């Protein structure tokens, strides 16, 4: 299993809006691509205080090929949707993991 982990740090003032939008709009759009099979949303509890709220979203893919297809076909547009809505109020970093 391949796990695409995206960590977002969002201005504290937008925490609730971001989380609601993420769950109601963004994640359903990602899942509609039919590439990830499941997902999890988590809040980081241990971090250096950065005046923001930090969340991790993990999308599970059956294979590296499924992830690469997703990345090539959909990821840029989906990332742009986050950028348009929260430009200047968030940062993110992706990581790719393999379950052993």
pLDDT one digit per residue (tens) for the chain, 100 residues: 999 999 999 998 999 999 999 999 999 999 999 999 999 999 988 766 667 889 999 999 999 999 999 999 999 999 999 999 999 899 999 999 999 9
CA dist 23 and 20 (Å) reads 5
Q: What is the model's pLDDT at position 48?
A: 62
H/E element, 55:
strand 52-61
How much is the pTM?
A: 0.90
Q: What is the model's pLDDT at position 90?
A: 92
Q: What is the model's pLDDT at position 46?
A: 75
Distances (CA, A) of 33 to 40, 64, 72, 87, 96: 16, 15, 12, 24, 18
CA dist 26 and 84 (Å) reads 12
């Amino acid at each position: 299993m391949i796990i695409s982990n995206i960590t977002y740090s969002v201005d504290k003032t937008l925490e609730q809006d971001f989380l609601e939008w993420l769950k109601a709009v963004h994640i359903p759009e990602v899942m509609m691509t039919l590439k990830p099979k499941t997902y999890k949303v988590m809040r980081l509890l241990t971090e250096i205080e950065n005046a923001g709220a930090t969340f991790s979203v993990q999308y599970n893919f059956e294979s590296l090929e499924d992830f690469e297809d997703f990345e090539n076909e959909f990821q840029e547009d989906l990332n742009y949707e986050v950028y348009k809505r929260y430009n200047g109020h968030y940062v993110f970093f992706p990581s790719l993991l393999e379950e052993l």
